[in-house]
Amino acid sequence: AGDSTMSRFPLLLFAASLLAAGDALLLAPGRSVAARPAAPRALATAAEKEGEEEGEDRLGAGGRGGHAVRNMPELSEEEKAVQAAVMEHQRGAARLTMAEDARSLVAYSSGYAVLSTLSSQVDGYPNGALVGFAPDASGLPVFVFSAMSSHTKDLSKVGGQAALTVTAKGFEGAADGRVTLIGDVERVGKEQVEKEGLKELYRERHPNAFWVDFGDFTFYRLASLKAVNFVGGFARAAAPSPDEYLSAEVDPIQAFAAPVMGHMNDDHAESTVAMVMHYVGLPDVEAAQLVALDRLGFMVQVTRQGQTFKLRLPFPRAAADRKDVKSLIVEMTQAAYKDESVQAHLAALAKPEESAAAAGA
């Protein structure tokens, strides 16, 4: 397995180098470098010292801030320059704040999450339950719980200390986003439910929630936020303060991101390749798919000589609405197609497809 991993150099090293740039790049699941079993500390320290000078000038794996990988061949000067330029671009790429990302993830989630409570059945142990919720105007979840549910008994008998873990819509694994909201869950009285329109709020997210009118179902809410833990994927994590989370704005562009990205990926994938090459400065891109969109830009899953990883592709300016997103994509595509190196690369990519089409005919 080790030999096949090494044979993928220099792309493996390139992806690892980008990971060292911080939260700018997320390596795709299934393509990550397998971790080696930990060596005894004395041996590990000796190996670190031995390779320290040799790896000092190496980007990414085995170098500054990267993941150490043994016996990696040297990069060419040209590839080193490419890596340095891409990492510099990614460090300065515009992106939402972690708090905005967290608020937006909760707002556009499926409306279901895992609620962790203090168990009323087993003293000192947690309990977990999949529950429906609807975020209120401040981004805090509102629930409707049955009196028979174990988590309802936990809240009433043990206390309201709880944590809600919300995953991004379409969550599949560690490369996808999730937010944990930690705080105190409290019961909401009937008068307050009516005054704040909590039934309507919940039904807006869950239209078929007929049980909100049942007598043995009660409204609860996360009334006091104590902490927020946000993970946006590999190498992107933070703990925004409760005040930062509560004051952050929900990104409006994500409301229609899926159809925009679907259209681009289905009908204009070549344009995304062109934009990545031109704006990020990454040559030899084989394929590029949009995987996230917000008012400041895209996250793009890029394939380069068999290695798959994610890059940030920012807009020249913030997008205000759907029409503005379209205008920015057209503007960026037109600029990218004027790049002669991009034109040559796209022409080279098209030749195998044309040959295959001719053979099929």
Q: How confident is the model at residue 359 (pLDDT cuts 50, 70, 90)?
A: low
* CA 329 – CA 332 distance, rounded (Å): 5
The average pLDDT across 176-203 equals 96
Lowest mean pLDDT among 72-76, 90-94, 99-103: 72-76
Look at residue 136 and tell me whether its pLDDT is greater than 70: yes
- With contact defined as beta carbons under 8 Å apart, do 279 and 329 qualify? no
Q: How confident is the model at residue 131 (pLDDT cuts 50, 70, 90)?
A: very high
Residues 6+ apart with CB under 8 A from 253: 293, 294, 295, 319, 321, 322, 325
* CA 118 – CA 167 distance, rounded (Å): 21
The average pLDDT across 288-294 equals 96
Q: State the pLDDT at residue 79.
A: 83
Q: State the pLDDT at residue 76.
A: 84
Look at residue 45 and tell me whether its pLDDT is greater than 50: no
- With contact defined as beta carbons under 8 Å apart, do 183 and 155 qualify? no
Q: What is the mean pLDDT of the chain?
A: 83
Look at residue 48 and tell me whether its pLDDT is greater than 60: no
pLDDT in tens, 229-264: 999 887 789 999 999 999 999 999 999 999 999 999
pLDDT in tens, 328-337: 999 999 999 9
Helix orientation angle between 257-267 and 322-337, rounded to the nearest 10 degrees: 30
HEC-encoded secondary structure of 57-94 = CCEECCCEECCCCCCCCCCCHHHHHHHHHHHHHHHHCC
Q: State the pLDDT at residue 73.
A: 60
Helix orientation angle between 11-19 and 77-92, rounded to the nearest 10 degrees: 30
Q: State the pLDDT at residue 86.
A: 92
C-alpha neighbours within 13 Å on the C-beta side of residue 179: 29
Q: Output the pTM of the full model.
A: 0.77
Closest CA to 164 of 202, 111, 207, 200: 111
